């Protein structure tokens, strides 16, 4: 399982222009620093062995010869060092000078990749010295210290799941970067050796390029640019280092460092490969590759990543940054309300019906209906809110339900279900004091029947309240709260439901409504289907029965989003929740999650419509088509 993770580094060594001995010393220091972090791949800037800004000195024989000597020395230095090195240096071949990346491992140059596209505009005039590498495939070259070295833009360096493609600076800025073809041919990590000078706001654009290319290629992207010591004449370089993974910047350095700078982070190869396998467009795009790729195989002696020094977010569905979280909450409300508005416009209905329990999910659904009706200019009195006290309803949830509905000016109705349930127990011959699943489901189905019938009577739309986490666990009564005419929360996980309600409490609600919402947030999650305790408090707490929702949402994210195996989910869970839950507790609830997820698929196969909000959805009509009778044995 651990071999799905690998540490990679981007480095910017301190250099002196054309001082190859000085540059080599600092390159070696950076390699040692990366090795101390258990890194397996390090990318240096473009032409870092000579420095990028040598200009016409590139035509001097001594510079090229000393670069070769330094490369030979670096090969010796790399012996018995378990790290792949991508280093920038010139190559003179058949009277043509190429700007190249030398890929070195354990005493040997595995391959040489020339720069495909040479900038020759504005401050750049590389064609004065170098020859383009476009179309350079299926070739080898000889150096005085190593013969028949693979040479070309068609190289991918492979060690098990780790497959590296290389491009150089301008290659990323063109319409179709070489990394696009390399990724389609199998490379899941792209290294870019760059010398991108700094101007105002260029760093933001560069960062966007790296992030977007990693997303298009569904890859990791390791970018290293020349540093301030390269600066000469009219150009200033900042030493920008970036490591991206499938559209997200995983690590970025502080630019303008004046000493050696190395950044290292962990990337997840299995996650990238899983994303590619699910993306049919990526697969179809492979037909457009213009050439056959050469794989250069090598082998790491040890794939141990050392300390797992990357923070794993406990709540992957919830942005940790408050500003981003608020923006996301606003966006989600817009998606939910716009989708519900479309359903009302299509059906021509002017009334909504919803059961209000005083719990989180029904509260969120009501807030969505309120926003929708305001959007459509439909009076809030057309929102029929029904509270249905039963055997387990507490004063706290009842009071919150009443307060919320009244303050939001809805048509509040109260229907006590106790007598109806007692009659039903009598009809089916079920003892009243037998508090089993039948006892609970009778109440859930009675409530749904009432809501459905009111919707029919009033000509309204019954809006469901169940969330994504409950659907994953099957924590709903089949043909009870499982059913509605439209389900607005169906792709909102429980951990996110809390933040959505809090967002309204903090940003949009009046004082009284906000106080009610805050108390709802602080109320234990419960279906309230079992009798209250002696003090009148909630006796049936959901998380005591099925486990903490923050754990289940974490499991769901990695199970669905990444297709991760149990061992990997458990490994990441123990890192994320260290000090919060014991290893035994995490393992127990992970087994529970997997079993319930498989056993409860039949409920998800019969879900009502509802809007897809995030990257994970369990709709049987879209993201998740699973047989209802699949066995969980292989997963456990």
- Report which of 215, 212, 171 is spatially closest to residue 191, judged by C-alpha positions: 171
Tokens of 610: 């509802």
Say if residue 279 is in the same domain as residue 364: no
Say if residue 441 is in the same domain as residue 478: yes
Say if residue 289 is in the same domain as residue 330: no
Binding residues: 121, 196, 202, 355-362, 441, 465, 470, 475-478, 603
- According to the model, what pLDDT value does residue 266 have? 96
Give the pLDDT mean for 456-484: 96
Residue 605 lies in a domain: no
- Banded pLDDT at 97 (limits 50, 70, 90): very high
- According to the model, what pLDDT value does residue 357 have? 94
Say if residue 272 is in the same domain as residue 379: no
- Banded pLDDT at 260 (limits 50, 70, 90): very high
Residue 581 lies in a domain: no
Q: Is the four-CA dihedral 71, 60, 132, 178 of positive or negative sign? A: positive
Please check whether residue 221 is in contact with residue 76, taking contact to mean a CB–CB distance below 8 angstroms: no
Catalytic residue at 169?
Answer: yes
Q: What's the CA gap between 629 and 612, in Å, rounded?
A: 25
Residue 483 lies in a domain: yes
Domain carrying residue 519: 322-542
- Banded pLDDT at 627 (limits 50, 70, 90): very high
CB-based burial, 390-421: b 16+ in 10 Å, e otherwise: bbbbbebbbebbbbbbebbebbbeeeebeebb
Instruction: Report the CATH number at residue 229.
Output: 3.60.110.10
Say if residue 63 is in the same domain as residue 202: yes
Give the pLDDT mean for 497-517: 95
Q: Is the pLDDT of residue 276 over 80?
A: yes
Give the pLDDT mean for 444-470: 97
**Per-residue pLDDT tens for 397-442?**
999 999 999 999 999 999 999 999 999 999 999 999 999 999 999 9
Tokens of 57: 């000195």
Residue 25 lies in a domain: yes
**Per-residue pLDDT tens for 351-401?**
999 999 999 999 999 999 999 999 999 999 999 999 999 998 999 999 999
Residue 503 lies in a domain: yes
Say if residue 355 is in the same domain as residue 245: no
Q: Is the pLDDT of residue 491 over 90?
A: yes
On average, the pLDDT of the chain sits at 94
Structural domain ending residue among the three candidates 485, 520, 542: 542
Say if residue 358 is in the same domain as residue 407: yes
- According to the model, what pLDDT value does residue 1 have? 44
Binding residues for deamido-NAD(+): 441, 470, 475-478, 603
Say if residue 236 is in the same domain as residue 336: no
Give the pLDDT mean for 159-174: 97
Which residue among 169, 329, 405, 421 is the active-site one?
169
- According to the model, what pLDDT value does residue 147 have? 97
**Per-residue pLDDT tens for 297-314?**
999 999 889 888 888 999
Residue 559 lies in a domain: no
E strand intervals along 350-434: 351-355, 383-387, 411-414
E strand intervals along 308-453: 351-355, 383-387, 411-414
Binding residues for ATP: 355-362, 465
Give the pLDDT mean for 573-581: 96
Four-CA torsion 482, 487, 489, 491, nearest 10 degrees: 90
Say if residue 470 is in the same domain as residue 515: yes
Q: Output the CA angle 615-616-619, nearest 5 degrees.
A: 125
Give the pLDDT mean for 250-263: 95
Task: Identify the burial level of 311 via C-beta atoms within 10 angstroms of its C-beta, where 0-12 means exposed, 13-18 middle and 19 or more buried.
Answer: exposed
Structural domain ending residue among the three candidates 258, 280, 297: 297
Domains of the chain: total: 2
Say if residue 331 is in the same domain as residue 258: no
Please check whether residue 576 is in contact with residue 614, taking contact to mean a CB–CB distance below 8 angstroms: no
- According to the model, what pLDDT value does residue 290 have? 80
Residue 610 lies in a domain: no
Binding residues for L-glutamine: 121, 196, 202
Instruction: Report the CATH number at residue 329.
Output: 3.40.50.620
Q: What's the CA gap between 509 and 51, in Å, rounded?
A: 59
Q: What's the CA gap between 429 and 422, in Å, rounded?
A: 10
Say if residue 291 is in the same domain as residue 336: no
Structural domain ending residue among the three candidates 542, 566, 590: 542
Residue 582 lies in a domain: no
**Per-residue pLDDT tens for 327-340?**
999 999 999 999 99
- Banded pLDDT at 530 (limits 50, 70, 90): confident
Which residue among 14, 30, 40, 46 is the active-site one?
46
- According to the model, what pLDDT value does residue 540 have? 67
Which residue among 14, 81, 115, 163 is the active-site one?
115
Q: Look at the pTM and tell me if it is higher than 0.85.
A: yes
**Per-residue pLDDT tens for 186-240?**
999 999 999 999 999 999 999 999 999 999 999 999 999 999 998 877 889 999 9
Say if residue 263 is in the same domain as residue 340: no
- According to the model, what pLDDT value does residue 529 have? 66
């Amino acid at each position: 399982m651990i071999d799905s993770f690998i540490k990679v580094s981007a480095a910017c060594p301190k250099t002196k222009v054309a001082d190859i001995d000085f540059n080599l010393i600092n390159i070696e220091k950076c390699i040692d620093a990366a090795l101390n972090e258990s890194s397996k791949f390090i990318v240096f800037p473009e032409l870092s062995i000579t420095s990028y800004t040598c200009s016409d000195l590139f035509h001097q024989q001594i510079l090229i010869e000393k670069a070769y000597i330094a490369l030979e020395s670096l090969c010796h230095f790399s012996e018995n060092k378990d790290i792949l090195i991508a280093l920038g240096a010139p190559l003179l071949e058949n009277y043509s000078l190429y700007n190249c990346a030398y890929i070195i491992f354990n005493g040997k140059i595995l391959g040489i990749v020339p720069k495909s596209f040479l900038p020759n505009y504005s401050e750049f005039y590389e064609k004065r010295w170098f020859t383009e590498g476009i179309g350079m495939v299926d070739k080898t070259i000889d150096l005085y210290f190593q013969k028949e070295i693979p040479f070309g833009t068609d190289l991918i360096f492979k060690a098990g799941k780790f497959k590296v493609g290389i491009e150089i600076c301008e290659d990323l800025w063109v319409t179709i970067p070489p990394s696009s073809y390399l990724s389609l041919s199998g490379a899941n990590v792209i290294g870019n050796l760059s010398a991108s000078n700094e101007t105002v706001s260029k760093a933001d654009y560069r960062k966007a390029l790296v992030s977007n290319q990693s997303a298009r290629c569904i890859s990791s992207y390791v970018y290293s640019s020349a540093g301030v010591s390269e600066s000469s004449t009219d150009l200033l370089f900042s030493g920008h280092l970036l490591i991206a993974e499938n559209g997200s910047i995983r690590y970025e350095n502080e630019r303008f460092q004046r000493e050696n700078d190395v950044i290292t982070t962990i990337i997840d190869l299995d996650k990238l490969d899983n994303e590619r396998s699910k993306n049919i467009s990526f697969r179809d795009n492979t037909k457009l590759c213009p050439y056959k790729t050469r794989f250069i195989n090598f082998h790491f002696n040890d794939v141990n990543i050392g300390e797992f020094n990357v923070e794993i977010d406990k709540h992957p569905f919830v942005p940790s940054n408050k500003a981003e979280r608020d923006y996301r909450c606003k966006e989600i409300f817009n998606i939910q309300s716009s989708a519900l508005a479309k359903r009302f416009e299509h059906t021509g209905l002017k009334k909504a019906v919803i059961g209000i329990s005083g719990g989180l999910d029904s509260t969120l659904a009501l807030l969505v209906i309120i926003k929708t009706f305001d959007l459509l200019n439909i009076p809030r009195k057309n929102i029929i809110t029904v509270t249905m006290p039963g055997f387990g309803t507490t004063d706290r949830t009842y009071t919150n339900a009443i307060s919320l509905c009244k303050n939001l000016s809805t048509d509040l109705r109260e229907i006590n279900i106790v007598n109806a349930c007692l009659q039903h127990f009598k009809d089916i011959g079920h003892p009243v004091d037998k508090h089993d699943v039948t006892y609970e489901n009778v109440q859930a189905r009675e409530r749904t029947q009432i809501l459905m019938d009111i919707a029919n009577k009033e000509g309204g739309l019954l809006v469901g309240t169940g969330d994504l986490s409950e659907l994953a666990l099957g924590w709903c009564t089949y043909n009870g709260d499982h059913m509605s005419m439209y389900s607005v929360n169906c792709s909102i996980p429980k951990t996110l439901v809390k933040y959505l309600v809090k967002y309204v409490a903090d940003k949009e609600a009046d004082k009284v409504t906000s106080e009610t919402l805050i108390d709802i947030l602080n109320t234990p999650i419960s279906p309230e289907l079992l009798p209250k305790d002696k003090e009148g408090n909630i006796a049936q707490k959901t998380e005591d029965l099925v486990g903490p929702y923050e754990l289940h949402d974490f499991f769901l994210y990695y199970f669905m989003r990444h297709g991760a195996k149990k061992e990997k989910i458990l490994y990441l869970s123990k890192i994320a929740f260290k000090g919060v839950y014991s290893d035994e507790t995490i393992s127990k609830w992970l087994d529970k999650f997997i079993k319930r997820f498989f056993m409860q698929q039949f409920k998800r196969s019969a879900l009502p419509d509802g809007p897809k909000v995030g990257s994970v959805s369990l709709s049987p009509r879209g993201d998740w088509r699973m047989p209802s009778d699949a066995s969980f044995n292989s997963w456990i």
